[in-house]
Copies of this chain bind each other. A is one copy, B any other.
């Protein structure tokens, strides 16, 4: 009787893997390196070998495995086809078919941010909800949207790419995506540093943030200074909150979620983030979509393996 499921989260440097029972209890967790050379052609065979060796180690028969879910960076459609993943060297091919052939088990695949959102819904900060938007404030801003318990994949696998919604005209610095004025340019960890750098340059107001060289500025330093009631840091956090709060207000108006689950490095600042985001959200969101909860993500780097496992259980 099938009772095990594997969750695989492919990153640019390592592949995180987890073995779960079908209730979502994690039984084992490990990593292997991501071999991105040669167009990333070794990645899926490495994953397959690792899963097979784990099955052998645990004495798990193929008949006991429900399947393997996989999340990876890049646009991946509902059928598990990836349309290029620069960080992995991948071009367009079917992840699902390739891995299913290697393992001879049921496979599903999705975009890593979307899969992580599913993980947070299943076992994390969004537990108990079926309509949620996960927002990852890391080096960039990632997102995943869950509608009625299912990932909103979109036409080309780019659903929930909320880091690149346009929120500011006249921005001169170019976003990683090639546009200017994306949410990511202000609400990511590097975005907070951008706002901080600009605020420090625009005034000579004393601040805890001036105690270290500007190259060492970080989102953490800003929010630590906020907790010390540093006026300039609070001003920076207000700007961050205005961009993100209005952006989330627009997203809420479009998809009407029950909850936002905020994760990523910046979210380590904790609940204090919401003090800066919510006023701008409340002020601009459509009233019919205002009734949204805000929660912190709780699975951290494991959200991807949980979500990948859940993907295959759907």
Residues of A within 8 A of B (CB): 75, 78, 131, 145, 147-148, 152-162, 164-166, 177-179, 181-182, 246, 249-251, 253-258, 283-289, 291-292
Contacts and interface: CB of A to CB of B under 8 A. Distances in A.
Contacts of A255: 145, 152, 154, 159, 254-255
Number of copies: 2
Nearest to A133: B254
Given A165-B253, A254-B145, A286 B158 contact: yes
A162 B256 CA distance: 10
Contact of A154 (B156, B182, B246, B289): B289
Given A166-B249, A289-B156, A148 B78 contact: yes
A132 to B, nearest CB: 9
The 6 closest A-B pairs by CB, nearest first: A154-B256, A164-B286, A158-B288, A166-B284, A155-B258, A159-B256
Contacts of A249: 165-166
A161 B253 contact: yes
Nearest to A281: B166
Contacts of A75: 288
Contacts of A283: 179
A84 to B, nearest CB: 10
11 contacts: A131-B154, A147-B154, A152-B152, A157-B288, A158-B286, A159-B254, A165-B249, A165-B253, A166-B246, A177-B287, A179-B287
B256 A291 contact: no
